[in-house]
Each structure stands twice: as C-alpha cells, then as structure tokens.
Structure 1
Amino acid sequence: MDSLLVSPGDVVVTDFGIYQHWSFVSDAVCSKGKPMLISATKRNGTVKEETWDIVTQGKNTYITKVQQIKPIYEVLKTARSQIGKWTYSVESKNCEHFVKWASGLEVSSTQVVNTTAGLIAGAALVGVVAENPKFVHFVGGALLVGGIFLALTRASEKAAVE
C-alpha cells in the first residue's frame, strides 16, 4: 500500500493465490491514514467497509480498470447501501459481482464463469482420453483444469497515468 496511490471509487484487486478479491476504495480513511475498502466477502458473509489492512491482509493489491457508468459518489452510495444486507454467495453474489453491480455494470464474475468452464472441460477431457475412467478421474480432471482456468483469470492492472 505504501507505493500504491488510490482514489475514492477505484477498484482494487487483492491476490489471494488462486483467487482475487475485488474492493472499492472508500472516501473514508482509518486512524492509520489508510483508505477504507468496501467489499463483499465470504469472511463476513456480507458487505462491509473495513480498513485496508483487514481486507488485503498484506497481500499484493493493485488498481484494476472497471468502466463505471455512474459517478463515484453514486457508486460509493450504492455500495454502502448493501452493508450488512448483501448475502455473499461465491456463485452469484461474490466480490466481483458486487463491484460490477454497484458500478451499474452487467453483474457477472469472470472467475466463476472461467472456473465453471474449466470444470466442464476437465471432466470432458477425462471422458475423451481415459480408456475406462472412474468417477474419481472425472472429479480430478475437473478440479485440475478448473483450478488452472481460475488461476489464469486475472483482472488486469490499470495502467499508470503519467
């Protein structure tokens, strides 16, 4: 965070290994002077506005480009309207869904879509190449390829403005 210059309304992505967590930079700061973040998390089961350190847990975090069609004050107001109300679901109401919803965009999650495609492709691949596949082979192939697809699904870093 020390070298990352963020502004209210920016969308930051935190790398948690196999998945990424999406958050809005708030217009509020914590007692340490760091920006607060608004996001939907499985950890909370809902939307919360929390300190930078709690949300990012010291992991690599960067700004990503999200084409917001609403003004920043409205995006933040919309995001805050779901604090304690949004019911987190990895499949349909995760952090990426939340950011896109509050931004006024089509609600979708590339992480969910690509992982699902990978699971299907992995199971299908086992069916095509294995001579006498067992159920465990289909599950293993699905998890392997689904995990690869998820790992390859990364939000791009917003180019620095010079």
Structure 2
Amino acid sequence: MFAAASNSGARLGRAYPASNPHIIYVHSTDTNGEASGFSPTAEPNSINLATVGESVESAWPTLLSQDSRCLQSQSGTSYATPIMVGITAFLLQYASLHLPQKQALALKRREKMEALLRRCAIRGPNYKPRDNYFYIHLSLHKHNLFRGELD
C-alpha cells in the first residue's frame, strides 16, 4: 500500500496513514528532484521515496475546470503518490515478463518493492540535508526501463 506523506513541510512529520510502518509513503519533488517545500522532512533511518508532485497536469470535470481543455495543474504528495503507484505497476508488469515467477511475486511484498524503488532512485542534483529523499525518475540513463535519456 502507498500513501501520501503529507503537505505540512518541515512543521510536521508524516501524516496517517503514511506513518504506518507497513505503508510505502511518498514524498513530493519538483521535476528536477528537489524536495517540494510542502513535503515533510525526510525521516532518518527510513527509505524516503519521492517523485514529482509539483505542477502535475490533471484532467478535471468540465464543471470544476476553468480551462477549456479541462486540465488543471495541482501540487501535493497526493499527486506524487499515484505517479509512484504507476511506476510500481510498471515495474511489477516488467518483472512478471522478465523474471522467474518466484522473484516477480516477491516484489509484491512491501520491503522488496521498497528496495527495488530505492535502487531505481537517485539523490536530487542539488542534494541538501533536508532533502534526503530517494528520487524516483526512470529516464536516467540509456539502460532504464523506458530507454530514454535525460535532457
């Protein structure tokens, strides 16, 4: 299970349910991997996973959108979380196609998926002590899952 870490910045720690030790909690970054100001401070001795959660363009119902295309940009750890879930779903699908069944099934356990996501992560380019996030960005090098390269 995944949960948004919280949007309280350095003022508060992770909110429930992200504070549950059986949950993979997700912090937010900008598109460069820098910690979002609203994302909570990384907890020491924890795997603080993060992905983009700022200015995420989302589809909105016609009645709620002020944009004729029915799109709005929103920010928050609750926007980073479904992106992380999508990355995880992709990794599970990839594993089911390319790994032995026992290994692929093991990735459905929290600690195994958390370890895999950590291996996919990088520290942000301008790492600061408050950040301490493992930034998930799958277009890092030519051997990544999408076969793309960082601009």
TM category (shorter chain) comes to under 0.3
Question: Which structure's CA Rg is the greater one?
Answer: 1
The normalised TM-score by structure 2 is 0.28
* Bigger share in helix: 1
TM-score, normalised by the number of residues in structure 1: 0.26
